[in-house]
Every structure is written in C-alpha cells, then in structure tokens.
Structure 1
C-alpha cells in the first residue's frame, strides 16, 4: 500500500492582526467653572480608560475581500486605523504585505486651501506615488472622479461627495496591494457608489486585498465573501459574510 502525500494550498496572508489590544483615555467633560476650581485646588482631571480592542486576532489572505462589522463603538474603525498604520497597538502586532492605500476618512490628506489638482498630487505622494506616476495617471484619476470642471477649485468648497470621489479615485489608481475602506462609499449618489463597487470588484479580481468597514450591509454582501463581527472590542464571529450579516440583524 503506497503512502499518499496530500498538499494543502494556503493563500499567503496580506494582513495579520495578532493578539492586538488598544486602549484610549477618555477624559470627563467639565464646565469652565469646574475646570478652574479644579486647577485652583490642584485637583487632577479624572480620565476613564476605554478599551477599544481586546486581544483581537485574524488574518486576511491575498486577494480576499473581508468586511469588519459591528455596532458603533465596537472597534471597527480602530481596527482599520491600526492596519493602516495611523495607530499603533498597545499590545500584539499588526503586519501587512505590500503597499497599503486607505480611505479611512473623507478628505483625509487633503489641504482645504489647495485646489483639487494640487491635492491629487499631495494625496498621491502620501500614498507613495512618484510625480511621474501621478502625471501618467492624472487624467484617469480626474475622469473617474467625475469632477473635471471643479479640479482647479479649492477643495474647501467641495461637498463631502466630491471629496470622496476624488479621494477614492486617487487611491484606486495607486499601485496598491491592500485597500482599506471605512464608510466613505456611503457618501455620494447611487450611480457613483455602484461605479466604485464595480472598480473594487475589478481590483480584488486582480488579487488586491480589501478590508472594509461599513453599515451598508447590502454593499458588504455585494463586495465581500467573509465577515468579521466585533462587539465591545472583541471578535465574536469570523466566517461567511451572509452569516456575519445575519448576526448583525439579530
């Protein structure tokens, strides 16, 4: 009887979140009078400890599209900020493979006094693109954003939808390996959101890894195959996206 060797193929991870915890200090609000009296009496301002994440662990494989779900305050956005490098964990580790492009806040990385054109170059540089790369892709970025007639206007006059269009367009034209999206696709009109969803599917089809936070469960179902549910900073589910969504609805 011959021995048969079974080789299991495992997708290499693009994102590793390993035993991560994150704590914030939440200072109590005081009136000016209370604060002044406290200062005179040399009393310390009390601060509460808020545990945003507690021993969170998961991996996202190369080319996976994964949704992070949970109620407000559950730790979803903190998770994305840790993966993006905006925040550092208090314990545990976060590892990523390749270039990360994040759409974590509408207009993040945009200077309000600069024009849309100038902000394309600024934001692209923040995401690691050279000027030559941006020059080559500038027309495609503007065309996708659909704000061509406003591109030389100061972005402080942009609506939140225009911010999102331009920020998303810059991010998807970067040579990226991981795309992080936090709620920004909920901004804007339905046709543009559908256009963004189609582009994200195209990116994941090319092997781009995506981690998305959204309360739009229909969009999550359309874009992702897997869902991670977080409650009070702890992972309570990791599996098929339909089951994750059902858990959120209960």
Structure 2
C-alpha cells in the first residue's frame, strides 16, 4: 500500500454511559429509555505517509483517542476501512499494560508478552532501559511507587526499543519536563528510521511542533484541517 495508514470513510460511534442516559427523568421528558448514541466519526478519511510523524490536536471529546484506538483495532468501526502497513503499538494510557502491584522487571516482561516485542528480558536489559529513561530505581521496584511521569518515561523507552512498524502515542509527553521532551524528540527522529510512521496526540502545541512533520486539527466527525 502507498500509505502507512489509510483511513477511508470511517464511521465510528458509541453509546454514552448508562449513568448519563438511563434515568426515569429522561423517560418522562422524552419517552425514550435507550442510551444516547454519540457519533465520533462520519465518513472520515485520512492518509498517513511512510516515514512521517503526524500530530493530532482538537478539543476534548472530538475523537482523538478514539481514532488511535480504531487504528489499533481496539475500537470496532461501524463502517469504512482502516488499513495499516505493519505491526501497530498503541500507547493509549499506561493502565492497560502496566500492573501497579508488580515490580518493574515483571512489568517489562508483561509488556514483552502483550506486544510481542521480542525483548531478551534480563537484569542487564532492564537496567539499560531504566538508565536510558533517566530512572534511578531498581528493577525490583514496585511500579505503584513510580510517579506518572516516571511511568511515562518507562513506557516511552520501551516503545523506542520495540519492533513495531507504527507507533501511536496518546499524551505520553503530558507529564514530562522540557528535558524529557527534548530527549524524546531526538529518540523519535532516530526511531522513525525503523518505523513506517508514528501518530502523536497531544493538547500541547509545543510537543507537536517539536516532534511532528505534519499536524492536523480534527474539526468535526467528518472533517479536519492541516495547521502547519
């Protein structure tokens, strides 16, 4: 395929939570007890070229994370087509991979299994990961003792060592300081040599400017604009 990611006429929707919609008051007002359906994307199309880091911005609730989840195959679409040209690694939050009650080495082993990263997980490898992430902790440290920023550094460093073709990052840099962002930008540029592409979602325009070749802003369920 000519693009690393090809999205054509994507239709994506979900039903709002039960607590928001299933109420006797709503039934009295509308005569309807069915949950409300939220349309996230409607006939949405996007092409992401090879060797490209693309940034995505937009207001809260516009569908940025949902788009990454759909690309990763974690959120089923109602219609349309999504094609990817290789193995996808989605970092859409740390909770779905890291286990707070396990130590760092066990969490890296869990990551290795979850994403088929083909790491040779031993003490030397884990120590190297921690050093590169700037974490002055032991492999036996329980994960819950790490701050959100430290977990983000760990996740990012593991992603940089993985064998994925397409990398999807959702607010991974949100808790990092400027030094972390600068180092991450350098690593991303180096990593791109072995990637088909990467997509970064962030509310911080500086993160996108520092890391991305192209930035788009999602405007509506069916439209976006280039902003750089």
Q: Aligning the two structures, in what range does the TM-score lie when normalised by the shorter sequence?
A: 0.7 to 0.9
User: Does structure 1 residue 214 correspond to structure 2 residue 205?
Assistant: no
Question: Which structure's CA Rg is the greater one?
Answer: 1
User: Does structure 1 residue 20 correspond to structure 2 residue 10?
Assistant: yes
In the alignment, the residues of structure 1 paired with residue 212 and residue 85 of structure 2 have an alpha-carbon distance, to the nearest angstrom, of 20
Q: Is the 8 A contact 1:14 1:209 kept in 2?
A: yes
Match of 2:59 in 1: 71
TM-score where L is the length of structure 2: 0.87
1:172, distance to aligned residue in structure 2 (A): 1.2
Match of 2:146 in 1: 158
Structure 2, unaligned stretches of length 5 or more?
Answer: none
Match of 2:50 in 1: 62
Match of 1:200 in 2: 188
In the alignment, the residues of structure 1 paired with residue 18 and residue 165 of structure 2 have an alpha-carbon distance, to the nearest angstrom, of 41
In the alignment, the residues of structure 2 paired with residue 138 and residue 158 of structure 1 have an alpha-carbon distance, to the nearest angstrom, of 15
User: Does structure 1 residue 104 correspond to structure 2 residue 92?
Assistant: yes
Q: State the Cα deviation string for residues 134-163 of structure 1 (Å, max 9, x = none).
A: 448434322222224243121122211111
Structure 1, unaligned stretches of length 5 or more?
Answer: 1-10, 243-250
- Cα separation, partners in 2 of 1:123 and 1:206, compared to 1, 3 Å: closer
Match of 1:4 in 2: none
The alignment partner of 2:186 has SS state of helix
The alignment partner of 1:47 has SS state of coil
Q: Is the 8 A contact 1:179 1:211 kept in 2?
A: yes
Match of 2:161 in 1: 173
Superposed CA RMSD in Å reads 2.5
Match of 2:114 in 1: 126
1:206, distance to aligned residue in structure 2 (A): 4.4
1:76, distance to aligned residue in structure 2 (A): 0.9
